[in-house]
Amino acid sequence: MPRVVVHVMPKPEILDPQGKAVAAALPRLGFEGIASVRQGKRFELELEGPADEAAIARLREAAETLLSNPVIEDVVDIEVLGEGA
């Protein structure tokens, strides 16, 4: 079955408390040299049918309404990984 990855990130103008917490924790744990961190989401979906244009268009709609909150998040990428196992 074709696998698709949907990448969702907080919009640039939105404060990202999870990312800020990670960025603050890194130097405390000995990892220096990281200027900023933003945390988003990655969804891996398996499609029942082929990953054709119509399926990806429907998936984009689902990604923009259900997988992300369009007020605070952007769907930054939809990546078709091809046929899975």
CA distance 54 to 47: 12
Using left for φ > 0, alpha for ψ between -120 and 50, and beta otherwise, residue 33 falls in: left
Closest to its own copies by CB, 40 vs 80, is: 40
What is the contact mask toward its own copies in residues 2 to 41, using x (rule: CB under 8 A)?
-----xxx---------x--x--xx--x-x-xxxxxxxxx
Q: CA-CA distances (angstroms) from residue 28 to 6, 21, 34? A: 32, 11, 12
Pick one of 42, 70, 72, 81: the residue that binds its own copies (CB under 8 A).
42
Residues that bind its own copies (CB under 8 A): 1, 7-9, 19, 22, 25-26, 29, 31, 33-49, 55, 58-59, 61-62, 65-67
